Structure 1
């Protein structure tokens, strides 16, 4: 059985005093913290299995918090991001949220607001990971389908009848029915309702940033 990593707050701020103060604050409510002086050290430390959230200072030398956020998104890192700044403005806030940030807090940070934001972000990430783990078997079964069966499945998900799918795909309605029977067997479902309930979250995933 794979051990689930402990949810951790990854803090990046070039100010040692801020790192120490925020690390202490988070530790008082039992949250594990890993603090870094720059984004390079953070990226060297992160793995795809990590669970938690990111606290990123927006103004740092070499790589800003927004640049670091963009780089992490490009790497496929799905940790929720909370941006910290002592110089907030509408443009920076907009850019942060466009890149998937879940919150944007100005320094000096209100302790209660920070702790609430962190707890929300941790809960969100744990929910995402639990959902992804639950959908793993469904994705594995989908991988069994042939290309034609995937096309027929797409028609089913779109609400097409066998005759409608046949016209779209340029095949006979009986052939569509045969493919439907085959994909039901491979996907281990007994009804259309069962199919939708199990596979709609896999074939039509939520957009980035959704809770």
Structure 2
């Protein structure tokens, strides 16, 4: 059955069929949808970048290594968090994985509890990131409705200016400032200064980059 678009997907890449089957079964016991692949090219062919979830990548694989695959995914703008797995871990590999944005580095044989905790943490982080991106896009759409003068009044409001201070700075009346402020609240669909500030910050302080 095809999973709901909102259902997290764990993309598992390992050239060892026994490992793939075991990890897929384990993740399935906690209700996670798993798509397993034997190598990097197969993943790149079957990956849906729009999915919510995370990637579990083995380091040593034929054709494309886990680190090479991680770099390729990053170059393509895939924002799924990456968890690296290896049976041949060393400090250099670990360092390179984290430099490329991996959220964790697990050594084989994989500890089941550690794996489940890591995957759940990565998925939750991805969900939060997607929510921040959605909030930022929504805020930008609302702010685009403001006139140039309303943007100036909004900037003064965010700088803590009173109505009189904004009026003096902009060379307009206090009543006009208040009219613009009322319009700003209506267009941005907010009911308080706190909500207005949150909307403003969702645009001026963009979300962090991909977690993996």
Shorter-chain TM-score bucket reads: 0.7 to 0.9
Q: Distance in 1 between matches of 2:105 and 2:73?
A: 17
* TM-score of the superposed pair, with normalisation by structure 1: 0.77
Q: Distance in 1 between matches of 2:96 and 2:20?
A: 24
Q: Distance in 1 between matches of 2:153 and 2:96?
A: 40
- Secondary structure at the residue paired with 1:5? coil
Listed one character per residue, the Cα deviations across residues 21-79 of structure 1 (whole Å, up to 9, x for unaligned) are 21122222222211111112112222232111100011222221112112112222111
Please say if residues 14 and 58 of structure 2, whose CA atoms lie closer than 8 Å, have aligned partners that are also in contact.
yes
1:165 Cα deviation after fit: 9.3
Please say which structure displays the higher CA radius of gyration.
2
Q: Distance in 2 between matches of 1:104 and 1:164?
A: 54
What corresponds to 1:98 in structure 2? 99
- Secondary structure at the residue paired with 1:125? helix
Counterpart check, 1:7 vs 2:13: no
1:200 Cα deviation after fit: 0.8
Q: How does 1:171-182 map to 2 (within 5 A)?
A: 172-174=170-172
Q: How does 1:149-164 map to 2 (within 5 A)?
A: 157=158, 159=159, 161=161
Counterpart check, 1:193 vs 2:181: no
What is the CA RMSD across the aligned residues, in angstroms? 3.2
Please say if residues 15 and 38 of structure 2, whose CA atoms lie closer than 8 Å, have aligned partners that are also in contact.
yes
Please say if residues 79 and 210 of structure 2, whose CA atoms lie closer than 8 Å, have aligned partners that are also in contact.
no
How many residues of Structure 1 are paired with residues of Structure 2 in the alignment?
204
Structure 1's unaligned 5+ residue stretches are none
What corresponds to 1:50 in structure 2? 51
Please, which moves more after superposition, 8-17 or 179-188? 179-188
Structure with larger RCO (C-alpha < 8 A, sep 6+): 2
Please, which moves more after superposition, 49-58 or 71-80? 71-80
1:142 Cα deviation after fit: 2.4
Please, which moves more after superposition, 132-141 or 120-129? 132-141
1:16 Cα deviation after fit: 1.7
Q: How does 1:1-211 map to 2 (within 5 A)?
A: 4-145=5-146, 157=158, 159=159, 161=161, 172-174=170-172, 183-189=184-190, 192-208=193-209
* TM-score of the superposed pair, with normalisation by structure 2: 0.77
